[in-house]
């Protein structure tokens, strides 16, 4: 073959007679296995098979840090929208046919992998006789297909177990987050050798010409070989694998997702089938999953996430941010500061009190220590990063910041006065972003020097675990400022959703009536444990009562009062929460006296008295539930039970789920009708990333579409007779029911 250029594949022949295929998808940072790429590859393989002068073939990539990121999800979504199950099955079979051509070439084929080798890219590599990879940290292997609700459909469920054994293959296929390094892949037997990136093609050429003498495969201990043969080669062994893999799936809370179970069944069944029938089974399983709602929802969410990254495409950020100021060294402020440090920013952490700064620094150090203990960082790296942290009780050091994020007490007047002091200390242009969870951004920055450089960055607690950041656009926030806030949050590896400046934005706006209703049910006599169990069964990561304790009754209470003031009776704060606030007020006053008495006792050398724990939830060990010192739930707080003092009533899990999901759907529809977010998919993305709303249901609005808008309106009207204004269907839902529209209907 002569040197030539196809649209996605460069190819040339080395002097040795070895041909090189270099993948380079145009107009993309990543290579993806699209139908276009596969068609080109198929044609080239046909030509190659007829050329008797070819001594070998090397597959490699022109993309830095990426061999293949996987299949083209645009193709998958198109098939889901347009193709029948039979056509999707046929598409999977065509993919395999191309890989089969590669596998049956009459000379040695070598895949030279540098960077990502995921999904379909790994299946392409498995069709080669040999695989060699760079030892760069960016080189990782995995099968992420379960993330979009399918299984490997290009032969991965057959070739991977045959090469590395059923247990190893399932570890990669069933867990979409399981990505392994080149060295780990070599030890597993997935690749034959690893080398520096600049030596890959030369080493691959040697392997193509001389075969196995040029590789040094990892030697597995004899007991592992025997174990893997038993687990994959016997009925009892496969039963054991099935049992423990199912436990793993349930442990990762994926029991509502069909793809991991289908992948398990396909891999185990393929082990006892002839290769052709095994490939056929995989294609049928892939088609069945791809046609299901769960996969369609997960693919939709993938594109919603991609859209969120393009919210201000083509607009340059207002400022180049190098140093970030964080106001407030509490849990949220320290979490934001640590995330910024971890992402390479210099950070100035401000607080009024030195003891708060000391606690904030310790919180940051503890978060980094956790990363060190997990092997994700070295202590030397942490030490270098901590040099970029400045703590201060003065505003002057904040003058070096291009972005300042406030995470102080949730009080509008205090936030306004803090901004005024900050502007006085910093004469330069900087972006001011509030981490408020519910307050009016426009009111907060009404007197700002540069209102176009203000907005909201609402992180969720705990910052290091929660993926969502709501980017709040105020009335005067410029597009360039929004672009800057998105760029900052995305550098922190956060999912961003842009919202308008409505009270509660998206997540808290929808979550508050949900949690309020859960408390109302408890006040009526429904067991809080039953309420939580019902919503966990629905797919939520925790129940609403447990969530209130986790968020903090004080924090949730402040949000509840703000939304009550903004929206009136339908956001009324439940009586039990008002009672808890009253009790906490008394405890706070009593603790203040205890502290004063302890100061006097200390002077006299007398023992001090312990302060009384406030009812705040998990952070004090006592909330609606009680908790032990390790944070494990012990049971209902007896004081709450006594205060409720109602006759127990029983509701089924379905009744509880209906009451709590319908109130969310109604509020989500109101939220969307007020243009709080750009699209239904962005609202769903916010609810999934911010609350853990089950992704397999597609988000609250996808779930509404699945139920049927007319049915929802009918149910809401019936429930409003007993449960009040929150269940009176909003105007948008009524209009949609009358016209037959859905949230995701396409014109």
Query: Which positions are catalytic?
Result: 458
Cα three-residue angle 502-489-368, rounded to 5 degrees:
125
CA-closest candidate to residue 612, choices 632, 579, 583: 583
Q: Token pair for residue 379? A: 């202590």
Q: Evaluate whether 231 touches 237 at the Cβ level (below 8 Å).
A: yes
Residue 540: left if φ>0, alpha if ψ -120 to 50, beta else—which one? beta
Cα three-residue angle 637-642-645, rounded to 5 degrees:
125
Residue 109 CB-density burial (10 A; 0-12 exposed, 13-18 middle, 19+ buried) = buried
Q: Evaluate whether 334 touches 414 at the Cβ level (below 8 Å).
A: no
Helical axes 709-723 vs 653-673, angle rounded to 10°: 110
Report how far apart the first and last C-alpha atoms of the chain are (Å, whole number): 48
Q: Evaluate whether 130 touches 57 at the Cβ level (below 8 Å).
A: no
Residue 288: left if φ>0, alpha if ψ -120 to 50, beta else—which one? alpha
Residues 648 and 531: their CA atoms lie apart, in Å, by 13
Residues 641 and 545: their CA atoms lie apart, in Å, by 13
Query: In terms of DSSP bridges, do strands 9-13 and 116-118 run parallel, antiparallel, or are they unpaired?
Result: unpaired
DSSP code, position 491: H
Output the furthest CA–CA distance in the chain (Å, rounded).
Answer: 99
Residues 21 and 651: their CA atoms lie apart, in Å, by 63
Q: Token pair for residue 445? A: 């920055």
Residue 394: left if φ>0, alpha if ψ -120 to 50, beta else—which one? beta
3-state secondary structure of 588: helix
Residues 681 and 195: their CA atoms lie apart, in Å, by 43
Residues 700 and 681: their CA atoms lie apart, in Å, by 10
């Amino acid at each position: 073959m002569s040197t030539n250029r196809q649209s996605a594949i460069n190819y040339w022949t080395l002097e040795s007679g070895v041909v090189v295929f270099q993948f380079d998808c145009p107009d993309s940072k990543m290579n993806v296995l699209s139908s276009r790429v596969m068609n080109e590859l198929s044609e080239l393989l046909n030509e190659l098979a007829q050329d008797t002068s070819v001594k070998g073939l090397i597959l490699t990539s022109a993309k830095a840090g990426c061999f293949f990121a996987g299949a083209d999800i645009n193709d998958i979504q198109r098939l889901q929208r347009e193709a029948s199950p039979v056509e999707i099955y046929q598409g999977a079979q065509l993919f395999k046919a191309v890989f089969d051509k590669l596998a049956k070439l009459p000379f040695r084929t070598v895949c030279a992998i540098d960077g990502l080798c995921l999904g379909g890219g790994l299946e392409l590599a498995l069709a080669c006789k040999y695989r060699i990879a760079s030892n760069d940290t960016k080189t990782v292997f995995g099968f992420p297909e379960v993330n979009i609700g399918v299984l490997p459909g290009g032969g991965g469920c057959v070739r991977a177990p045959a090469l590395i054994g059923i247990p190893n293959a399932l570890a990669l296929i069933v867990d979409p987050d399981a990505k392994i390094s080149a060295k780990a892949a070599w030890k597993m037997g997935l690749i034959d050798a690893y080398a520096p990136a600049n030596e890959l093609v030369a080493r691959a050429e040697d392997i193509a010409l001389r075969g196995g003498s040029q590789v040094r495969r990892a030697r597995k201990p004899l007991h592992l070989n025997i174990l893997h043969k038993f687990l994959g080669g016997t009925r009892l062994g496969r039963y054991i694998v099935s049992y423990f893999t199912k436990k793993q799936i349930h442990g990762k809370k994926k029991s509502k997702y069909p793809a991991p179970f289908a992948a398990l069944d396909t891999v185990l069944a393929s082990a006892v089938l002839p290769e052709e029938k095994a490939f056929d089974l995989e294609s049928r399983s892939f088609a069945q999953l791809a046609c299901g709602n769960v996969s369609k929802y997960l693919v939709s969410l993938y594109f919603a996430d991609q859209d969120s990254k393009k919210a201000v495409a083509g607009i340059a950020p207002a400022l180049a941010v190098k140093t970030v100021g964080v106001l407030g060294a509490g849990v949220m402020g320290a979490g934001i500061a640590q995330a910024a440090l971890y992402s390479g920013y210099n950070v100035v952490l401000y607080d009024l009190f030195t003891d708060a700064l000391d606690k904030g620094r310790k919180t940051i150090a503890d978060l980094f220590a956790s990363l060190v203990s997990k092997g994700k960082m070295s202590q030397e790296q942490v030490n270098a990063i901590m040099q970029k942290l400045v703590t201060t009780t003065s505003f002057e050091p904040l003058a070096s910041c291009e972005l300042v994020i406030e995470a102080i007490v949730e009080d509008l007047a205090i936030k306004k006065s803090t901004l005024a002091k900050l502007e006085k200390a910093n004469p330069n242009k900087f972006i001011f972003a509030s981490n408020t969870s519910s307050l009016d951004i426009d009111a907060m920055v009404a007197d700002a020097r540069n209102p176009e450089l203000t907005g909201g960055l609402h992180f969720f607690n705990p910052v290091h675990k929660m993926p969502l950041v709501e980017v709040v656009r105020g009335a005067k926030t410029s597009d360039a400022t929004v672009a800057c806030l998105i760029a900052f949050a995305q550098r922190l590896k956060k999912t961003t959703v842009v919202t308008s400046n409505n009270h509660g934005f998206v997540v808290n706006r929808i979550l508050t009536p949900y949690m309020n209703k859960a408390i109302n049910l408890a006040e009526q006599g429904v067991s809080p444990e039953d309420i939580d169990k019902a919503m966990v069964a629905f797919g939520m990561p925790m129940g609403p009562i447990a969530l209130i304790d986790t968020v903090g009754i004080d924090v949730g209470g402040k949000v509840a009062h703000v939304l009550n003031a903004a929206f009136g009776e339908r956001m009324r704060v439940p009586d039990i929460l008002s009672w808890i606030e009253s009790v906490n007020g008394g405890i706070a006053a009593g603790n203040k006296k205890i502290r004063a008495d302890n100061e006097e006792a200390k002077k006299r050398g007398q023992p001090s008295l312990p302060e009384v724990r406030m009812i705040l939830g998990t952070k004090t060990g006592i909330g609606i539930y009680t908790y032990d010192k390790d944070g494990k739930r012990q049971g209902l707080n007896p004081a709450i039970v006594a205060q409720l003092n109602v006759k127990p009533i029983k509701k089924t899990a379905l009744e509880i789920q209906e009451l709590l999901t319908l109130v969310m759907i109604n509020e989500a529809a109101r939220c969307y009708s007020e243009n709080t977010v750009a699209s239904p998919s962005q609202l769903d993305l916010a609810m999934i990333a911010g609350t853990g709303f089950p992704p397999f249901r597609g988000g609250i609005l996808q779930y509404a579409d699945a139920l049927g808008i007319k049915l929802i309106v009918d149910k809401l009207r019936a429930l409003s007779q007993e449960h009040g204004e929150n269940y009176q269907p909003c105007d948008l839902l009524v209009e949609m029911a009358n016209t037959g529209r859905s949230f995701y209907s396409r014109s």
